[in-house]
Amino acid sequence: MKLKYKKIIMLTTMSTMGIGLLTLSISKDSSKAEERSNDAMVQEANLLLSAEGDHETLALADDALAMENSETASPTATPSPTPTPIPVYELEKTTNQEIQTLFEEYYTAKNSSDVEKIKSLLTDPSKAPTVEQLQRKTEYIDDYRNIETYLKKSLDNDAYIAYVYQEIKFNGVNTMAPGVSKFYLVQDDNGKYKIYSDEMDEELKEYYDARNNDSDVQELLNMTNEKGEEAKSQDEDLKTFWDSIDKLASERQENSEE
C-alpha cells in the first residue's frame, strides 16, 4: 500500500489535536476551510478595528488644569475599567438548511474534483485548489457520507466556526472512517454563506484556534475519536490503512519541525 495517501493532509491537521483521523483545518483545502483542509479546513471575516485615543495624554492635561484652578484640590483616582470578557458561544448542531447544504455540496464537489463548484462556495475563489490537487487528495476516497454540521457563533455578526463531521469511505475498505473538519463561515454581500478562504487577522485567528479547547468541541472530537477506534477494531483493512497514514503524517510533521 503506497504511503502517498492524500489523507496525509487530513491527518496532519488531525494529529495536532490528537484525534486520530480527524481533520481540523479551516479547509482551505486548505480553503481555510479544510480538513484543517489546513488543506482545510475554512476558512474568516475581518474584525472591526477600534481606534485608540491618546487617553493618557488627555488625563495628564486634565490633572494640570485642576491643579491650576485649585492648589488644594485632591486628585481623584480614576478606576481602571474592567475588561469585557470575550464571549464564547455553545456548539450546536445546525438547523440552518442553507449551511448544511453548503457543506454537502462542498464534499460532493471535492470528491468529484469540481473546482468551479468549490470556487462558488469560497469568499476568495482564487484560493480554490486545482483539479490535480483535488484528485491527489481524494485518490483513495470513494465517498463522504453522513455529513453533520455543528456551529459555534463567532465574534462577528452572522459568522460561525463550523465543525463538520463526516464519514469517509476509502477505496477497498468496507468500514467508514469518521472525521471532523473545521471551517469559518461568513455572509457575502447578498447574505449568502460562504467558506472563508482569506487570511484571518491576528485577533480572529487567536479566537478561532482557541475554540478547539472548548469543552463542547472536545466532546465532539472525543466522540469522533471513539468511533474511529471502534471502526479500526472491527476492520483490519481500515486499521492498516489508518496506521499507515498516521505514520506518514507523523514523519512529515517531524520533518516540517526540523
Q: Where are the domains of the chain?
A: 7-44+86-257
Alpha helices in 33-190 (DSSP H): 55-69, 97-111, 115-121, 131-137
Q: Give the 3-state secondary structure of residue 188.
A: coil
Say if residue 22 is exposed, middle or buried (CB neighbours under 10 Å; 0-12, 13-18, 19+).
buried
Determine the average pLDDT of the residues in 161-177. 96
C-alpha dist (Å) from residue 256 to 12, 132, 244: 11, 23, 18
Confidence of residue 249 (pLDDT cuts 50, 70, 90): confident
Cα Rg of the chain, angstroms: 23
The mean pLDDT value of the chain amounts to 76
For residue 147, the number of C-alpha atoms closer than 13 Å in the C-beta half-sphere is: 19
Q: Check residues 32 and 188 and name the one with the higher pLDDT.
A: 188
pLDDT in tens, 209-231: 999 999 999 999 999 999 999 99
Handedness of CA 125, 205, 133, 121 (dihedral sign): negative
Q: Which residue has the higher pLDDT, 109 or 250?
A: 109
- How many whole angstroms separate alpha carbon 91 and alpha carbon 216? 6
User: pLDDT-derived band of residue 202, with 50, 70 and 90 as boundaries?
Assistant: very high
The whole-number pLDDT of residue 173 equals 94
Handedness of CA 250, 252, 253, 255 (dihedral sign): positive
pLDDT average, residue stretch 71-100: 76
CB 230 within 8 A of CB 224: no
Express as a percent the part of the chain with pLDDT over 70.
Answer: 67
pTM: 0.70
Dist CA 220 CA 148 (whole Å): 11
Q: So what's the pLDDT on residue 75?
A: 52
Distance CA 245, CA 12 (A): 9
Q: Report the interhelical angle of 215-234 vs 236-257 (nearest 10°).
A: 130
* pLDDT at residue 49 tops 80: no
* pLDDT over 60 (residue 54): no
Q: What is the per-residue pLDDT for 83?
A: 62
pLDDT by residue (tens digit) across 109-167? 999 999 999 999 999 999 999 999 999 989 889 999 999 999 999 998 899 999 999 99
Q: What is the pLDDT of residue 152?
A: 98
pLDDT at 76: 53
pLDDT in tens, 3-34: 333 333 333 333 333 333 444 433 334 344 44
> If you ran DSSP here, which 8-state letter would residue 153 be given?
E
CATH superfamily of the domain spanning 7-44+86-257:
NTF2-like; domain 1 (3.10.450.100)
